[in-house]
Amino acid sequence: MSVTFESGLLRAYFVAGSQDVPGQDLRKVLATMLDAGITAFQFRDKGASTLNEEQRVALGSDLRVQCHEANVPFIVDDDVDLAILLNADGIHVGQSDQKIQQVIKKVDGRRMFVGLSCNTAEQVAAANQIGGIDYIGSGPIYPTVSKDDADPAMGVDGLAALVQQANVPIVAIGGVTVKSLPAIAATGAAGVAVITLLTQSTDPYADTQAMRQAFAK
């Protein structure tokens, strides 16, 4: 299965690696989130992860199978070689990761969509000049504990300005809560990418449906 990109995939975008669910099996966590109705999954195994490369590939392969069985896109964070190895549907890169032009060139012809993190007007302006970017991730919208190197929170006004500027859909990241979904949706963002909102949720189904409904077109 290869998933064709469309903005609706960004509505309830779950991001996680082994470091985000200590003491748990990420396969079981993902199964719960797929049942709950997430619209995309990004495998972001880094930071405090203790997995070696062989373990990361094995885990990623299992997660990809789960996503494909659920007809949900499987996206790899940062590592284009891993994305190719795992036959991912998408690759997401940050400003400090691999150069976006190199990533686009490397995945060309593989039917893999590309996301780029852009947190400033200057970064969005640069992205607008590059062909092959399918969506932009912008944030943090609110203060977040999921990334040690996160930029200062931009708020919904900052997000709205980037949404107006960007040539492609934007998914909002950072500090997202269920209560903040209406304000984020009002900016014109296509959806939210979340870690903590779901990994620490007491009702993943309700919270996932809240995301889907907030950004339903």
Q: Tens digits of per-residue pLDDT, 132-170?
A: 999 999 999 998 765 566 678 999 999 999 999 999 999
- At residue 68 the predicted structure's pLDDT band, cuts being 50, 70 and 90, is very high
Distance between first and last Cα of the chain: 25
Q: From CA 10, how far away is CA 159, in angstroms rounded?
A: 15
- The string of DSSP letters for 76-137 reads EES-HHHHHHTT-SEEEE-TTSS-HHHHHHHHTTTT-EEEEE--SHHHHHHHHT-TT--EEE
Instruction: Give the pLDDT of residue 110.
Output: 85
Structure tokens at 158: 């900052």
pLDDT 10s digits, 26-63? 999 999 999 999 999 999 999 888 899 999 999 999 99
Q: How many CB atoms lie within 10 A of CB 137?
A: 22
pLDDT for 151: 72
**DSSP tag of 202:** S
| Per-residue pLDDT tens over the stretch 176-192 | 999 999 999 999 999 99
What are the two backbone dihedrals, phi and then psi, of residue 32, each rounded to the nearest 5 degrees? -65, -45
Compute φ and ψ for 108, nearest 5 degrees: -55, 130
Q: Is the pLDDT of residue 81 over 80?
A: yes
Enumerate the active-site residues.
44, 117, 147
SS (H, E, C) 75-93: EEECCHHHHHHCCCCEEEE
Q: pTM for the complete prediction?
A: 0.95
Q: Is 169 helix (H, G, I), strand (E, B) or coil?
A: coil
Compute the Cα dihedral for 49, 83, 39, 126 and give only its sign: positive
pLDDT beyond 70 at 83: yes
